[in-house]
Structure 1
């Protein structure tokens, strides 16, 4: 009759479906935020990597254009030096021609040698004028090429500045998005932990009246002596009775858990540090602890607990909960732990 009253009281204050709906909505929101963050990170990373390639190409073009500009300036300087020499030679030739012409005029045309020299100098002067004209044309062409190179360098620098500004803006966006997502995730994780605590609190309420069960955090601890004879993995009648109660509670609780929550009950076997005798059924404590965990799992399956919701593990004597080597400590370390977790 007390159990019937407890069940009527639980049905009257059944708040668990609301918690489960809130938990499902919370998980969907977290997955959506994580998806948005991953997509944003991927798109921005692609954009940044593309900008890095463009920047590298622009820097390479600037280096090539700078080198070409240096070469063009060097060629221009050589041509200007040649033009200066030609102009100096032209000035000297004109002076010499004027002097010879004056001598020719003074000699009234009687000096054939002076006339020949004048003709020779006149030819050289014409040649030098042609060379000077070609040099001037080349200098003009070089000036045009230098102006074009300077225009290209200015355009490249403008593109580089625009790319750097866009890259800085992208980095700011990524930082702001990460900060906001971290804040949102921290809030959602706090809510998720609160709902998880409520979940295990419900289990504590269901199993609080069971004898021979210690609740430690989110684990349910059975002493091995309650379930098994010494050195054996065959469950005794008292152990089967306790496990049957636990199986009934798990089956009742599983009906309230939505099918999209992937939970599992892990059964952990532990022993003390006393080594097994060589003539026993089990070679060592590892084998005994694993066999006991498997025995509990098989019994729960036989009572209707779904096999896909169960897992067995053996830890031997290597995870004691009581320090020391006293009989009391060994008794506490010989145990079966049941832990309900999300897979």
Structure 2
């Protein structure tokens, strides 16, 4: 029967090169998508970094302009105070001139003296008028500078508003990308869960006659006695027959799962808590559990299962199903677990 089975396998078409090409193409596509995503993240971070630099520079300019505006306003108030003082002095001088002119009409002597005083006062009035005109010119210049500063502040505020709008658009794009990635991941998990359910259902049909092979949570469990002699990692004939059925189910699953789902079948080896004698091949339960998981993986590969879809792990006695120390509890803990998961 084994010879006829080998002959039938040899006559089957070799899908391996096409499958390798498909996997390589899928890997390139995934790398390309990840590269695009990393580039998008890089450009978004650069844009955000540039926006922060511009905002800091604009805030510094606004602070400087605000200080200049305050100084110019203070200078304007000082000039206005000087103008008011000069106007008051001008009024007093005019009154004095009128008084002196009145005295001039009453006395010629007084007129000559008053004339000199009037000339002096008129000179002072002319000087004060010139100072007042210069002050008014400075006030006009300050008003023009204040108007220019207001225009600059309005332009800076417009630039800040535009920068904030761009920042909000970037944040919205990042949030949308995160939502899309979460949706894609959730869909992948749901698809893999459906195929895991189908796979375990198929295994139940194939291995339904064995009470020592069962489902525990999301794992399919073989008791070690089904596959191995005590203290050994060599698969016995009965175990090879069961693993042959398992290999056929895995090949059926591989043909059904879409290529974009990067799944693996993890083979976990577990032992009981009894220490090994130390005189055989294995010094401890870690080595025995790992060697048994590797033996199962090698046998499945010999049956045609893609090595890229298999992972072997050894857990020793440190993840028991039953915490008791009875023979039944120890037997439950000696096991090989299969778990379908995404890489």
TM-score by length of 1: 0.71
Residues 203-282 of structure 1 aligned to structure 2 (within 5 Å): 203-209=203-209, 212-251=212-251, 253-255=253-255, 261-282=261-282
Moved more, 292-301 or 57-66: 57-66
Aligned residues: 314
* Structure 1: stretches of 5+ with no match in the other structure: 1-32
CA shift for structure 1 position 247 = 3.3
Cα deviations by residue, 1:260-296 (Å, 9 ceiling, x for unpaired): 5544332211111111224333211111111222222
Moved more, 123-132 or 256-265: 256-265
Aligned to 2:133: 133
CA shift for structure 1 position 126 = 1.8
Contact 1:37 1:178 in 2 (8 A): no
Aligned to 1:146: 146
Aligned to 2:93: 93
Alpha-carbon spacing, 1:280–1:187, altered in 2? closer, same or farther (3 Å): closer
1:318 matched to 2:318? The reply is: yes
Give secondary structure in 2 for the equivalent of 1:232. coil
Q: Distance in 2 between matches of 1:238 and 1:74?
A: 101
* Structure 2: stretches of 5+ with no match in the other structure: 1-32
Q: Distance in 2 between matches of 1:207 and 1:335?
A: 16
Q: Distance in 1 between matches of 2:331 and 2:48?
A: 62
Contact 2:202 2:249 in 1 (8 A): no
Aligned to 1:122: 122
Cα deviations by residue, 1:108-153 (Å, 9 ceiling, x for unpaired): 2576544433333232222222111111111222223333434444
Alpha-carbon spacing, 1:181–1:157, altered in 2? closer, same or farther (3 Å): same
CA shift for structure 1 position 58 = 4.9
Alpha-carbon spacing, 1:181–1:36, altered in 2? closer, same or farther (3 Å): farther
Give secondary structure in 2 for the equivalent of 1:231. coil
Cα deviations by residue, 1:21-54 (Å, 9 ceiling, x for unpaired): xxxxxxxxxxxx9999999988887777766666
Cα RMSD, aligned residues only: 4.1
Give secondary structure in 2 for the equivalent of 1:287. helix
Residues 1-343 of structure 1 aligned to structure 2 (within 5 Å): 56-108=56-108, 113-154=113-154, 156-157=156-157, 190=190, 193-209=193-209, 212-251=212-251, 253-255=253-255, 261-343=261-343
Contact 2:199 2:253 in 1 (8 A): no
CA shift for structure 1 position 69 = 2.4
Q: Distance in 2 between matches of 1:172 and 1:142?
A: 45
Contact 1:207 1:249 in 2 (8 A): no
Give secondary structure in 1 for the equivalent of 2:319. coil
Moved more, 55-64 or 294-303: 55-64
Cα deviations by residue, 1:196-226 (Å, 9 ceiling, x for unpaired): 4234433433443567432334433222223
Q: Distance in 2 between matches of 1:34 and 1:55?
A: 31
Q: Distance in 2 between matches of 1:306 and 1:167?
A: 48
Moved more, 279-288 or 58-67: 58-67
CA shift for structure 1 position 75 = 0.8
Alpha-carbon spacing, 1:92–1:45, altered in 2? closer, same or farther (3 Å): same
Alpha-carbon spacing, 1:259–1:207, altered in 2? closer, same or farther (3 Å): farther
TM-score by length of 2: 0.71
Q: Distance in 2 between matches of 1:324 and 1:97?
A: 122
Moved more, 295-304 or 222-231: 295-304
Alpha-carbon spacing, 1:137–1:206, altered in 2? closer, same or farther (3 Å): same
